[in-house]
Amino acid sequence: MSSVGKNIDALCTKCGMVLAHIILYEVRGVIAQVKCKTCGAEHKYRGSKPRTKSGEAGKERTRRVGTKADEESRQAEAAETQRWLQRHRELKENAAIADYHMTGRYQRGDVINHPSFGIGFVEKILEEQRMDVLFKGNLRRMVMNYHAREMA
């Protein structure tokens, strides 16, 4: 069950408090990016609890190397990069590339341009408002056709 497009409480670093956010995309089933419904800032999802002072500094460096999950995600990333490169090679010079907007409507086979991830290929449409997009190095489950009414 994907939660892309749904609301979630998350800490907004701009507003400085826990507020309702929209889930913008997931990577391998994990919520990755959210958008604050109050200020509109887009940022990484860090959970709903404000971080403590002691946890803040070291957090980014606690990534363990060599675990099975790390290895699997490295392999998945490598495979997705290969697939992306192949699709990119096949991309025709005059192909239509649409800028990505969360309110936009896309179809399987569309090529989109994302402000942070660049060129992406729409691989799968899930329901009305979710799609899987292959970006270089990551398949992301993105929200599309978004409207303010809460999504199912």
Amino acid identity of 126? L
Our CB check for Zn ion shows the closer of 139 and 143 to be: 143
Q: Which residues pair with 18 in a beta bridge?
A: 11
Q: Which is nearer to Zn ion, 15 or 126 (CB)?
A: 15
Residues 18-77 within binding reach of Zn ion (CB under 5 A): 36, 38-39, 41
Ranges assigned E (strand) in the chain: 7-12, 17-27, 30-36, 42-44, 97-99, 111-114, 118-126, 130-135, 138-143
* Least distance to Zn ion, CB of residue 146, Å: 17
Count residues near Zn ion (CB under 5 A). Answer: 7
From the DSSP assignment, how many helices (H) and strands (E) are in the chain? Answer: 2, 9
Site string for Zn ion, 122-151 (x = CB under 5 A): ------------------------------
Question: Does 15 contact Zn ion by CB under 5 A?
Answer: yes
For residues 23 and 6, the answer to whether their CB atoms sit within 8 Å is yes
Q: Which is nearer to Zn ion, 20 or 97 (CB)?
A: 20
